[in-house]
Each structure stands twice: as structure tokens, then as C-alpha cells.
Amino acid sequence: MSQTTQVDIYQSLSDFMKMAPHFDGQTKQEIESFFAYCMEGMGTDSQKLLATLLIKALNKKINSEAIGENIYLGKYEISQIQLFNILIEKFPFVKFSQHITNSAIVEEMQGCNEVTLMDIGIGQGTQVVNIIELSKSLPQLQKLHVVGIEPFGDALNMAQANILGYNGQVPFEISFTAINDSVENVDFATIQNVGGKIIVNASLALHHIQSDLLRMDTIARVKAMNPSAFIFIEPNVNHYEPDFHARFENCYKHFYHIFQVIDRIENIGNNDKNALKLFFGREIEDIIGKEEKDRFEKHEPATHWIERLKESSFSIKNDFLKSPVEAGCGVEISYHKEGFLGFTHGDETVLAVIYAN
């Protein structure tokens, strides 16, 4: 294929994915040729870049030496701090979902002397730091106890240092309980110093729980804590889907729209946009390239999470969420009758915020 050849990229990908993992020599050569075609111009063509990431993930099943690990070529590498700043400050899905969630949490803290904020998948604590900043104006708050649950120890240590560093800078006392584990392994009943109003937050974390049974169990155990609010953000797409081709279709549509939104971000260069797209390459590799037992990014539609919440006697309270009028970059934020606040680009609702109690 030459760059001037007219190729239906989605249809070509779909045809290859239908044959996986059984590829004969001719098909393997066709995939390699298609990959080379997409490599030409992928720096300015989001669909080609997405196709290279999908074929690179598929290569776990093809094992082709012609499809190498070096598609990045160092061209689009930026520092993790710079990438993180773009995600938080400019990428509308992250920026506005966390803004909405943080505002709802602080609203829930109004009038309280003491609050316990459990953050599932706390990372380095950036979201909680933003919540603390917003909480400075709460006149009655005297104690904030943060429970940080995080399987990655270095990130958890950073979160603890960042959060406790606010003691003396805010008009309330902050304590921190660090739990270095995955949430499905945590016995909430043994956590010390849980007092006052309990709020549970989970930002892009629950889909890492690997089985439906463990997801149900975790939600039931959160309910047993009797939180005043359980607020979480999740991608609204079915990557739990066991059928490989159906999962590819879901994956392609989801990331196609994410990449379209990235293209519309203002005040960042093309290299930064491509670096942001490549950041999602790790998720694509997990969804397409790994065996089921090794997969980690098992996203589900918001309606599946809502069904679990209702089974555990949670009530959905999304009218408590306040959305901005305009998110930008072609993203629309609106309430869905199924019970979530959805972030939609085109015909794809990419992300959901859910508020339960």
C-alpha cells in the first residue's frame, strides 16, 4: 500500500480482527503492509495513529518482526509531569469529570465537623489535594481523615506526603491512612479512625477489579460502611466483552472519539497531542493484545455499575451533580435517564460520573 492508496482503515482493521488469532502467511503480509501504510502520516492523522496502536496490540497474536516496538521513535515522548498536566488541565473528560466530582464531594462536606474521605485508587493524591483546596472555605470542618487505597506503593507514599503537607495550611486537621493494596482485598471494617460523615470516591479505578463477583462484593462492602455519598468516574464502554471482535469494535469507537477530542484541544502542539494519544496505547494493548487472564482494563458501561449499585441497595442521586454549561472540544455533558452524567462526543458517550448513597 502506498500513501496515495485509498484505504478504508476501519474496515481493514475489522477484517483482520475477525481472523484473529488464525493468520496464514498471506494475511500476515497484508497486515504488515497495512501497518506500514498507517505509519506513513500517522503524526497528522488520528485514525492512522489509532490503527498503528491496534495493529501493534494485535501483534501480540501475530508475532511479526515487521511490526516493531519502535513506532514511537522518540518523536512524541514528553515528560510524565507534562502529560499529567495536559490530562488534568486540558483534556475535557478528566478535567470536567473531576471538577464535577470534587464540587459534589465538597458540597457533601458542608456543615460537617468531621469527614472521612476514602479514595479508591488515590494515585499520587492529586484529586484529594484539589478537594482539600476547595475545602478551605468550609467554616465548620475541623477534621478530615483521608483513607488512601492504592496498589502502587511509590504513588501512595507520594499521596501521603502531598496530603499531610497541607496540615498548617488549612483551618482543619488532616490525618491519613495508607492502604497499599487493591480495593477488593481491603477489609473496610478494620480501618482505624473512621469518623464523621463518610464519603467514598473512586476515579477511574473500579474497572481494575477483575471479576463481576469481586465488583459486586466491593460495592456491597462500601454500602456496609453507610457512606453519605459514593461517587465515581468510569469509562462508558464494554471492554469486559469476551468476544474478541465485538471488543475490538467497542475499543475502536471509544478511542476514535477520544482521539478526535484530543485533536480539538487548544493551546498545545501536535507532538503533545500525539503523546497524549500514545498514552492510551497501553490501554489498547491490554484490551486487544493480552489474553483474558492477563487483562487489566476491563471497562464496563455505566448501566452495569448502576445495576450493581441498586442490587446493593444504593440509591442513584445524580441530580446532586452540577455540570458546566460548556466542556469544549466537541464534548457535551448531559444527564442520562439510566442514572449517570455522561460525557459525549458525536454518537459515543465516552465517560460517566455516578453519584450514589
Residues 241-269 have pLDDT tens digits of 999 999 999 999 999 999 999 999 998 88
Contact predicate 322/97, CB 8 Å: no
Distance of alpha carbon 64 from alpha carbon 55, whole angstroms: 10
Tens of pLDDT, residue by residue over 29-54, are 999 999 999 988 888 999 999 999 99
pLDDT value, residue 4: 46
Residues 217 and 352 in one domain: yes
Q: Is 73 left (phi over 0), alpha (psi -120 to 50) or beta?
A: left
**150 and 280 in a common domain:** no
As a 3-state breakdown, the chain gives helix, strand, coil percent values, each rounded to 5, of 50, 15, 35
Contact predicate 234/342, CB 8 Å: no
List CB contacts of 65: < 8 A, sequence separation 6 or more: none
Q: Does residue 98 lie in a domain region?
A: yes
Supply the DSSP string of 239-297, one letter for each residue.
---SSHHHHHHHHHHHHHHHHHHHHT-SSS-HHHHHHHHHHTHHHHIIIIIS-GGG---
Q: Which of 22, 48, 19 is nearest to 35 (CA)?
A: 48
Domain containing residue 100: 84-236+299-356
Q: What is the mean pLDDT of the chain?
A: 90
Quick one: 112 and 37 in the same domain?
no
How many domains does the structure of the chain reveal?
Answer: 2
Distance of CA 205 to the CA centre of its chain: 7
**Of residues 121 and 295, which shows the higher confidence score?**
121
Assigned domain for 72 exists:
no
Q: Is residue 111 a part of any domain in this protein?
A: yes
Question: Do 289 and 327 lie in a common domain?
Answer: no
Assess if residue 78 is contained within a domain: no
Q: Domain boundary at 278, 294, 310, which?
A: 294
Whether 171 and 264 share a structural domain = no
313 within domain boundaries? yes
Decide if 74 is inside a domain. no
Is the residue at 46 inside a domain? yes
Instruction: Tell me: do 206 and 335 sit in the same domain.
Output: yes
**pLDDT tens, position by position, 304-317:** 999 999 999 999 98
CATH number at 142 reads: 3.40.50.150
Q: Could you tell me if 57 and 162 lie in one domain?
A: no
Same domain, 231 and 245: no
Query: What is the rounded CA–CA span in Å between residue 315 and residue 122?
Result: 24
Per-residue confidence (pLDDT) for residue 59, from 0 to 100: 86
pTM of the entire structure?
0.90
Last residue in a domain, options 277, 294, 311: 294
32 in a domain, yes or no?
Answer: yes
Say whether both 17 and 143 belong to one domain.
Answer: no
pLDDT, tens only, 48-92: 999 999 999 998 877 777 676 655 445 556 666 677 777 888 899
How far is 116 from 140, CA to CA, in rounded Å?
Answer: 15
Tens of pLDDT, residue by residue over 90-135, are: 899 989 999 999 999 999 999 999 999 999 999 999 999 999 999 9
Count the neighbouring beta carbons within 10 Å of the beta carbon of residue 357. Answer: 18
